[in-house]
Structure 1
Amino acid sequence: VIKGLTYLREKHKIMHRDVKPSNILVNSRGEIKLCDFGVSGQLIDSMANSFVGTRSYMSPERLQGTHYSVQSDIWSMGLSLVEMAIGRYPIPPPDSKELELMFGCPVEGDSPVTETSPRQRTPGRPVSSYGPDSRPPMAIFELLDYIVNEPPPKLPNGVFGSEFQDFVNKCLIKNPAERADLKQLMIHAFIKRSEAEEVDFAGWLCSTIGLNQPSTPTHAAGV
């Protein structure tokens, strides 16, 4: 994904502007493809192409209507990584009880309302969550306000590696001037370690979803 965003910027002088899980594809060879389904009629009725589905991955600066750059795509990528790691859209963040349901063991989590949070009431539940949730659904503008004014999502401690956590944290810094850029991310320890590891991602993918593996699978490191 980082290489795709770099290619768009350096070769075509453009930003993607719509990085989200539904626009990140993988084939049976383990190759990651960055695409854009924004004009696809096949997703016209899906959550991914709805008002909230599109804007829920936008960076705080975009939602505020201020100037934005490729740093906005980096925020969207970081948010997508957290979602793919925990299995649901990460705003509002899961508490310890929901994390335990996700991972099958006790996990340290944050309360949706912290002492440093300006929010006076518990936010509504996300569109998708684990187990019963008595909170009312989070309204669209409540969600967008949360992205702009509340702390950014983060990966739970004790589940993922520290390098992956640090990589995501650098993508989700709210101030775009302080957020990591593409060059910094390309040399991050998480990326360097992933490039050096030999992991049969294609084989894992095919066995997981029941596909026939090509004769020449691509080897890539997983999270």
Structure 2
Amino acid sequence: MTLKAPKIGTSNAAEGDNNLLTINGSSSAPPTGSASANRSTYHTTLSTTLAKLDLNSENKYHDLRNEDLKDMQELGQGNGGSVKKVEHVPTGTIMAKKIVLIDAKPSVRKQILRELQIMHDCNSNYIISFYGAFISDPNICICMEYMDKGSLDGIYKKIGPIDIEVVGKVALAVLEGLTYLYDVHRIIHRDIKPSNILFNSKGQIKICDFGVSGELINSIADTFVGTSTYMSPERIQGAQYTVKSDVWSLGISLIELALGRFPFSDSSSDESDLSDFEGTLSPARPAPLPPMTRAQKDKKKKRKSRGVSLQGGGMTMSILELLQHIVNEPAPRLTPEGRFPKEAEDFVDSCLLKTPDERRTPKDLLKHAWIDHSRTATIDLEAWASTF
């Protein structure tokens, strides 16, 4: 296999294309000159954009100020900045505040404005709500809905494999969110993974992090972004990113939630029972390595976090080897066979078809039998949320 270098978009899409999401002031980098002049220009552009968003806003948080927010907890690091849990003191509302340094390269600056516009325009039960944003020099602070149960990545790592009925509700919510983004805004998410799917104690499931989202037809969509381990085979090979690439990432994510581990990795314990994992990877496993010496085993322990372990033994793949595996080998499956409903197995298989032309869109997958079942399933997600 040859891994092609991904295409890097070098030109902006034509102005006035009705299919594109356009943002005033973000079509070009600030003029060249001193760093302070650049920052001043960008600061002005950003302030204008924020003011316009505030004027158009119908929510009660449009007059957000840093002094009105009380830090409560560090939530982690996101794309391009940190995220904190804060309280908006005047209203008592708990929010998630994303802090982004605006002394960033031009591409990141445009990304910030694009993210603001996308979030401001989104109004869906399956997308994290946007409360507003403000400048706290040299940072921009973006305030979003706080999901108190955190990401599904953190949840399954705490409680283990997630019940397939809950996983079905996750699939439904993500498909609804992706369909909304694509149909209403003509954008694709491009970074679907369990850490970007959030859950709250009300039983709501929403997708977040538009830090790497882009306009569907814009050349930005040809840039190599997203989390490589969830990336579709065609994207790894440098082909154009489409909404069907998000479907692949969803399929990988659903297996991860149902099995309680990343589909291409092994349990962290060498002594663990691997029978449950049989058949998850393709039968054509990489050739077994010769027995390791004690020195090699010690070296492997030190290096393990740098690679992806495949079903025990001495097989630890580098990211490059994993990407080659994703392209060359049959896709992972929801296994062992018979543990999960046939409809769930079929749904995941349809997400993970290697040829994108054969893969269905999120809108088409909303008509799948398993999704129909999940839509009417009586599982109480609010009650489930109370168990952890």
TM bracket, shorter-chain basis: 0.7 to 0.9
Question: Which residue of the partner structure matches residue 186 of structure 1?
Answer: 366
Q: C-alpha displacement at 1:92, in angstroms?
A: 5.5
Equivalence map 1:93-104=2 (5 Å): 101=273
For residues 18-58 of structure 1, give each alpha carbon's deviation from its aligned partner in whole angstroms, at most 9, with x where no partner exists.
0011001111111111011758xxxxxxxxxxx9x920001
Question: Which residue of the partner structure matches residue 260 of structure 2?
Answer: 87
1:12 to 2:212 alignment: no
1:175 to 2:348 alignment: no
Question: Which residue of the partner structure matches residue 200 of structure 1?
Answer: 380
Contact 1:93 1:110 in 2 (8 A): no
RMSD between superposed Cα atoms in Å:
3.1
Question: Which residue of the partner structure matches residue 145 of structure 1?
Answer: 324
Question: Structure 1: which 5+ residue stretches go unaligned?
Answer: 40-50, 210-223
- 2-structure distance, mates of 1:111, 1:23: 23
Contact 1:107 1:158 in 2 (8 A): no
Q: C-alpha displacement at 1:174, in angstroms?
A: 0.6
Contact 1:113 1:121 in 2 (8 A): no
- 2-structure distance, mates of 1:120, 1:128: 12
Question: Which residue of the partner structure matches residue 216 of structure 1?
Answer: none
1:22 to 2:195 alignment: yes
TM-score using structure 1 length = 0.73
Match of 1:121 among 270, 287, 294: 287
SS in 2 for 1:25: strand
Contact 1:88 1:129 in 2 (8 A): no
SS in 2 for 1:177: helix
Which structure has the highest strand share of the two?
2
Aligned residues: 185
Contact 1:20 1:77 in 2 (8 A): yes
Contact 2:202 2:382 in 1 (8 A): yes
Equivalence map 1:18-57=2 (5 Å): 18-36=191-209, 38=211, 54-57=227-230
- 2-structure distance, mates of 1:154, 1:111: 5
For residues 158-194 of structure 1, give each alpha carbon's deviation from its aligned partner in whole angstroms, at most 9, with x where no partner exists.
2111010000000000100001222221011111111
Alpha carbons of structure 1 residues 108 and 200: separation in structure 2 relative to 1, 3 Å: same
Alpha carbons of structure 1 residues 59 and 204: separation in structure 2 relative to 1, 3 Å: same
- 2-structure distance, mates of 1:179, 1:112: 19
SS in 2 for 1:33: strand
State which drifts further: 30-39 or 59-68: 30-39
Contact 1:92 1:112 in 2 (8 A): no
Structure number, greater radius of gyration: 2
- 2-structure distance, mates of 1:113, 1:150: 6
AA of the residue aligned to 1:121: A
AA of the residue aligned to 1:187: K
AA of the residue aligned to 1:6: T
- 2-structure distance, mates of 1:28, 1:139: 38
AA of the residue aligned to 1:158: G
TM-score using structure 2 length = 0.43
Identity of aligned residues (%): 47
